[in-house]
Amino acid sequence: MLNVFARALIGIVAIPATVVMAGTMATKALTDKGTVLPKPVVDARLAAKSGEEVAVFAGGCFWGVEAVFEHMKGVRSVVSGYAGGTAPSPSYDEVSTGNTGHAESVRVVYDPSKVTYGQLLRVFFSIAHDPTQLNRQGPDVGPHYRSAVFYRSPEQQRIVNAYVAQLTAGKLFSRPIVTEISALRKFYEAEEYHQDYAELHPNQPYIRIHDAPKVANMKKLFPEMYRERDPVKGSRASR
C-alpha cells in the first residue's frame, strides 16, 4: 500500500512523484473539489462556558484528517492514533496489517462554547474524507483506512446518526455512505513521528497531493470556521 511504503521512507529519502502519482489520479479530483454539506438539523447547542469535549474520527490516513481539524476554530488539540480495534497498545506496523481491527483515527479536543459536535461532523464529511469509500480512502486500502465515527456519549451517537440520516435522505452523495458509527472503546496515540505530519512535512509528495488540498478547501469553503495554525504551539501543546 502506498502509505506503508511512503512512511517507511520518512526521514530517509523523498518519494519520487512518479511513485506517489500511481493510482492517485482518480482520487485527486475528490480531494481538490471538496463540498459544502448542509448544517446538521440535530446538534448540540453551544455551551455557556468554555470547556473541553472530545470527538474521535477515522477517515483514511490520519495525516490529512488531523491537518483539517488543526485549522478549525474552537479546536484545542488534535492527535493521531488508533481506535476501533481490540488489540491492546497497537503499533503502526500492527495496525497496517489490517488484522487488529483498528482504524487510523484522530482525537479532537474542542471547546463546546466555540464549536459544536455537529459542526465537527459537517467538516469531517465535507472536507476531511469521502464517506462513500468502503475500507479505503483514495490509494490507501484496507479496513484500517475505513470511514468511522467513534462516539463517546449518547448525545454524540444521536447527533451523528441523525446527520448521516439527513445526508442520506438528501441524496447528497452519488453512492451510499458507508461510515461506521460505533462506541469508542479505547483510543491509542500513534507514534510521535506521525503527529503534526502534514505541518512538519508540507513538501512531501503524498501531503501535497492528498492532504494540502483538504486544508485549502477548509479555508475556501468554510472561511468562517478556518484559522491559521500557531507555528510555535502546534496541535499537541495543549494536550
Whether the CB-CB separation of 86 and 143 falls below 8 Å is answered with no
Q: List Cα–Cα distances, 115 to 76, 138, 224, 231, in angstroms.
A: 11, 29, 11, 22
Q: Which three cell numbers stand for residue 10?
A: 520518512
Enclosing H/E stretch for 80: strand 75-83
Place of cell 496515540: 189
C-alpha–C-alpha distance, residues 156 and 105, integer Å:
17
- Give residue 225's Cα distance to chain centre: 16
C-alpha–C-alpha distance, residues 203 and 93, integer Å:
24
Whether the CB-CB separation of 64 and 24 falls below 8 Å is answered with no
Residues 6 or more apart in contact with residue 127 via CB below 8 angstroms: 34, 35, 68, 214, 217, 218, 221, 222
| 115 in catalytic set | no
CB atoms within 10 A of CB 4: 13
C-alpha–C-alpha distance, residues 196 and 211, integer Å:
12
From the list 2, 58, 61, 123, the catalytic residue is 61
Active-site residues: which are they? 61
